[in-house]
Amino acid sequence: MPTYEATSTAPVNIAVIKYWGKRDTALILPTNSSLSVTLDQDHLRSQTTSRCDESFEKGDRLWLNGKEEAVKADGRLGVCIRELRKMRSEVEQGDEKLPKLSQWPLRIASYNNFPTAAGLASSASGLAALVASLAQLYELPQSPSLLSCIARQGSGSACRSLFGGYVAWREGTSSDGSDSLAEEVASRDHWPEMHALICVVSDKKKGTSSTSGMQRTVETSPLLQHRLTLVPGRMKEMESAIASRDFDAFAALTMADSNNFHAVCLDTSPPIFYLNDVSRALIGLVEELNRASKEATGHLIAGYTFDAGPNCVIYALEGNIATVIRAVQRYFPTEAAFPDPFGVLGGKEAGEVDVK
Ligand code: DP6
């Protein structure tokens, strides 16, 4: 008997134009398009292995980092599995000889190669790896963009993790969500000098989840309406900044959009505070580095962004990343430091910095 098993990985992505708000909460259709940078596989990623077998006891089962989680049929995970099964069963209907994998129970095991407790988005990479592994197991012919429509229903930002490099999630206009999908706007190789420095400010679980926070924003924030008029222009500017490898424009837009997103969080009722004093001090540091760099060279050196939590991601180019790391380590000294994943410091100092 052959074994039907497939393993896939998907990296974390960090948005530079943020997704915040749903126009359809069931299908996970966003109120605006977004754009992210997918981090390298080697550093922060999820790996998922899926297996199906006729002899398995009825019902699908899933383990996250070794701990079993319930698979609810109408939950986000259950919806992703159902949609991928449907695709497989269409393939099976077209070829009688194929084994009926769509009817067999699944066993899925997923691991993150970074501490889940580090407060870094694991749902995006986790759901993307799950969709990729099932698509591989079922030998689905669908393109990554079509599969991103499924990952989107698991967690909005997950649709972007099915691609590497620079990725746009187009909000789409159809009510069934068929055109709300992710696509690569540029490959990693297009701008290989780009680096992301992750500053772990807190490893505690965030107080307000993205899902509930953004819903509260949609229901209560008048400022969100203004944000929605800004984003289409920013998407275009960001895409052209990436196309022309214009770091000044990329960094300025990234910081502006992060600040606008957190302003909208503050405008929510009750307000949502994701940033803490350390986050704000990091903003101050990057702004100061940029001021000095602008004065000396006429260019920005770095761009910060924050998701739904206090941790900071700083984008900088190869030639400047070591300066940024040293500045962060100088002002936020810490004993615990991850090894230098980029090798930019000759492996002696940290590239992913713990700044608690
Ligand atoms: C701030 O994708 O986690 O990281 O669709 O409800 O699962 P759900 O939300 P999620 O939200 C991510 C929000 C963000 C911005 C972004 O990644 O674009």
The alpha helices in 267-312, defined as continuous H runs, are 277-297
Q: Is the peptide bond before 232 cis (omega within 30 degrees of 0)?
A: no
Q: How is 166-186 classified by DSSP, letter by letter?
A: EEEE---S-TT-TT--EEEEE
Beta bridge partners of 168: 35, 183
Cβ < 6 Å from ligand 1: which residues? 15, 18-20, 28, 34, 121, 123, 155-157, 210-211, 307-308
Which ligand 1 atom is at minimum distance from the Cα of 169?
18
CA–chain centroid gap for 84, Å, is 21
Task: Give the sheet arrangement for strand 312-317, strand by strand.
Answer: 303-306, 312-317, 194-200, 353-354
Q: What is the pLDDT of residues 275-298, one digit of tens each?
A: 999 999 999 999 999 999 999 999
* Number of the ligand 1 atom closest to the C-alpha atom of 14: 17
Q: Which of 296-300, 335-339, 344-348 has the lowest mean pLDDT?
A: 344-348
Structure token pair of residue 9: 């990985």
Closest C-alpha residue for ligand 1 atom 7 = 155
Between the CA of 209 and the centroid of ligand 1 the distance, in Å, is 9
- Could you tell me the distance, in angstroms and rounded to a whole number, from the CA of residue 356 to the centre of ligand 1? 23
> 119: CA distance to ligand 1 center in Å?
13
**Residue 82: exposure state from Cβ atoms within 10 A (0-12, 13-18, ≥19):** middle
ipTM of the complex: 0.99
Distance of CA 320 to the CA centre of its chain: 24
> Which sign, positive or negative, has the C-alpha torsion 247, 253, 257, 263?
positive
Atom of ligand 1 nearest to the CA of 156: 5
Output the pTM of the full model. Answer: 0.93
Please state, in angstroms and as integers, the Cα–Cα distance from residue 104 to each residue in 53, 85, 245, 265, following that order: 6, 10, 48, 44
The residues, any chain, with a CB within 8 Å of residue 75's CB and separated by 6 or more, are none
Q: What is the pLDDT of residue 193?
A: 96
Look at residue 248 and tell me whether its pLDDT is greater than 80.
Answer: yes
Residue nearest to atom 3 of ligand 1 (CA): 210
Cβ-count burial 240-278 (b if 16+ within 10 Å, e if not): ebbeeebbebbbbbbbebbebbbebbebbeeebebbeeb
Q: How far is the CA of 156 from the centre of ligand 1 (A)?
A: 6
Q: How many whole angstroms from its chain centre is CA 268?
A: 23
Q: Ligand 1: distance of its center to the CA of 213 in Å?
A: 10
What is the pLDDT confidence band of residue 121, given thresholds at 50, 70 and 90?
low
- pLDDT confidence band for 114 (50 / 70 / 90): confident
State pLDDT tens for residues 156-198.
999 999 999 999 999 999 999 999 999 999 999 999 999 999 9
